[in-house]
Amino acid sequence: MIGRRAVLASPALLGAGCASAQVPPPIPQAAAGPGLHARAAAKGLMFGAALNTGQLAEPDTTAAIRAECGLLVAEYEMKWDQVEPNRGDRRFRLPDRLMEFARVNRMAMRGHTLVWHESDPPWMGRLDARALANAMQDHIEATVGRWRGRIGTWDVVNEAVRAEDGRVDWLRRTRMLEVLGPDYIPAAFRAARAADPAARLAYNDFGCEHATVAARRKRMGVLALLRGLKRAGAPVDVLGVQAHLQAGQPFAADEWQDFLSDVAELGLTIEVTELDMNDRALPADVAARDAGSADLVRRFLEATLAQRAVRAVVTWGLSDRHSWVHAGRLPEHRRRDSARARPLPLDDAMRRKPMWHAIAIALDGAPSRA
């Protein structure tokens, strides 16, 4: 592995710690052939992607998923507002189709996500504390119970930390927090454990990865939450790091690895759950953009996979044809030019991009978990 990397890496690439978005390093190439999951599995890791049922109708997309993935996650079809659009009215038809696709193709599934302020069902706003606690309990019991024994890891609580909300406990001010208080978090984990004792239970969040003031604060908040959950005896097993990376933002392997070690010391494993690249700060030129994105992904994954508690890498979509980035929901997703974002490892035609090679190289170079 080292040999091939050394041959492929130019001096500029070896100094990539200070590569800037303006001077993209040369594009490294992994050997063609095995898909990303095969490379991950050779190291005792898993690789996969988010998808939705609409994509199952596209033969080139499903072929690419089969070639690259061993782990799938529903992009939104397991979220609370989707599976319980009206109180007690549960709809599992679409996520059942994803579960079936995974079963037929012998892939594992992640569950995503039980409690997330952005997928609160609209009827939730009318409930008092007692009714809301019951609704959360019922939702977790029904949803986790639906696929009991068939989901490896559940994202139980998503994005509950927000330093900017100014609380001493770093928690995001959500409807759940307002009505139930901070105990909604351990309660959600306990309900999930009861509904499927075999599933590993994750706290999942974004914004931790870069070497910025905001990310440092976020990491402190996430660690405080995880330590508190552990102290309270809440059954949390996994930290999900979303890894919506931003080209042009600094990344420092050492401080990132310190954070991962702190998490591992709590006895947790770690999964990269939503990897993609916001290429807004990179030039429109496709070759330069792809090189810049691949470089950041490679540095991020090499640093991440060096930590043995890390068990899986999941990208938020597999090809540039399908990405939430195109919807431009977040202001930071909108490019200032008209270039179409290229956030994922495959291009619109399912061809492997430099980002694919970056992931392959990082997986090939990862220490074995066996």
Residues that bind ligand XIL (CB under 6 A): 75-76, 113, 158, 206, 242, 274, 324
Tell me how far, at minimum, the Cβ of 129 lies from ligand XIL, in Å.
26
- How far apart are alpha carbons 186 and 188 in whole angstroms? 5
Give the closest residue to 133 by CA, choosing from 60, 187, 80. Answer: 187
d(C-alpha 94, C-alpha 57), whole Å: 13
**Residue of 68, 75, 77, 159 with catalytic role:** 159
Residue with token string 């596209």: 58
Nearer to ligand XIL, 30 or 109 (CB): 109
Report the residue number, 318 or 366, with the smaller CB distance to ligand XIL: 318
- Catalytic: 274? yes
Least Å from the CB of residue 327 to ligand XIL: 7
Residue closest to ligand XIL (Cβ): 324
Q: How far is the CB of 78 from ligand XIL (least distance, A)?
A: 10
**Rounded-to-integer distance, Cα 175 and Cα 119, Å:** 11
- State whether residue 78 is helix, strand or coil: coil
Phi, psi of 346, rounded to the nearest 5 degrees:
-110, 155
Q: How far apart are CA 47 and CA 51, in angstroms?
A: 13
Nearer to ligand XIL, 4 or 117 (CB): 117
Residue 29 or 119 having the CB closest to ligand XIL: 119
Catalytic annotation present for 159: yes
Catalytic residue among 75, 77, 274, 302: 274
b/e string for 97-118 if b means 16 or more Cβ within 10 A? ebbebbeeeebbbbbbbbbbbe
Cβ count within 10 A of residue 178 = 11
Strand partners, 278: 246
User: Considering beta carbons, is residue 54 or 267 the nearer one to ligand XIL?
Assistant: 54
CB of 50 to ligand XIL, least distance (A): 7
Distance of closest approach, residue 255 Cβ to ligand XIL, in angstroms: 23
Cα(316)–Cα(50) distance, integer angstroms = 5
Q: Which residues are catalytic?
A: 159, 274
